[in-house]
Amino acid sequence: MSLYDPRPPVDLAGDRTLWSRLVDRTTSTDLHDWDGANPHHRPFALGADLVFLSAAALGHPAAEVAAGILRDGRAEAVVVTDGARGSAVYRRHESPLRVPAVSLPGRPVVDTKGAGDAYAAAYLFSRLAAASHADAARAGAVAGAWACGSPGTHTGLVDEPTLRGLIG
């Protein structure tokens, strides 16, 4: 669920069985506008199991911010998206997993709005389906690229069969 705006497009319905199957509750937060220092965002970063950040807003090196979250918080992973430069997944006691950005044939970039949200949604969808962090990041990269091929933030959403087909 996104708390940015509770009014989804009229024809978009969530799959209630996806979240109702969960035995343990996992929380995630998307702090796409955090600079890595603003104290308002810190409780969200430290209280979530999975933290999404945008490198575009960070005023500090991503590795430094991720290390602080992993050290002081409860996150199992910190995912930093960085547009055309790809993304990185940081986990305790592991080297960062770097995932390149994806270009989709026949789907040129027309609008980057919503790419980070699409990335996070596909990442979470994949993790809920027991995918590894590496596979979830790859799904996120594909969904983000798909979103960039559509104008606006809720037109041409990638569906599950298309996403799976593009991931390979």
Give every CB contact of residue 71 below 8 A, 6+ residues apart in sequence: none
Tell me if 66 is assigned to some domain.
Answer: yes
First vs last C-alpha separation in the chain: 27
**In contact, 98 and 91? CB cutoff 8 Å:** no
C-alpha–C-alpha distance, residues 129 and 18, integer Å: 9
Query: CATH no. for residue 51?
Result: 3.40.1190.20
Q: What is the pTM of this model?
A: 0.84
Question: Residue 84 sits in which domain range?
Answer: 16-167
C-alpha–C-alpha distance, residues 3 and 48, integer Å: 15
Tell me if 31 is assigned to some domain.
Answer: yes
Tell me if 64 is assigned to some domain.
Answer: yes
C-alpha–C-alpha distance, residues 156 and 136, integer Å: 21
Q: Between the CA atoms of 28, 30, 55 and 134, what dihedral angle is there, to the nearest 10 degrees?
A: 40
HSE-CB for 58 with a 13 A CA cutoff? 17
Tell me if 115 is assigned to some domain.
Answer: yes
Our count of domains for the chain comes to: 1
Q: What are the structure tokens assigned to 70, written together?
A: 């992993």
In this predicted model, what pLDDT tens digit does every residue of 103-124 receive, in sequence order?
Answer: 999 999 998 888 999 999 999 9
In this predicted model, what pLDDT tens digit does every residue of 7-22 receive, in sequence order?
Answer: 455 565 666 665 555 5
Of residues 7 and 79, more confidently modeled: 79
Q: How far is CA 138 from each of CA 80, 101, 158, rounded to the nearest angstrom?
A: 13, 9, 14
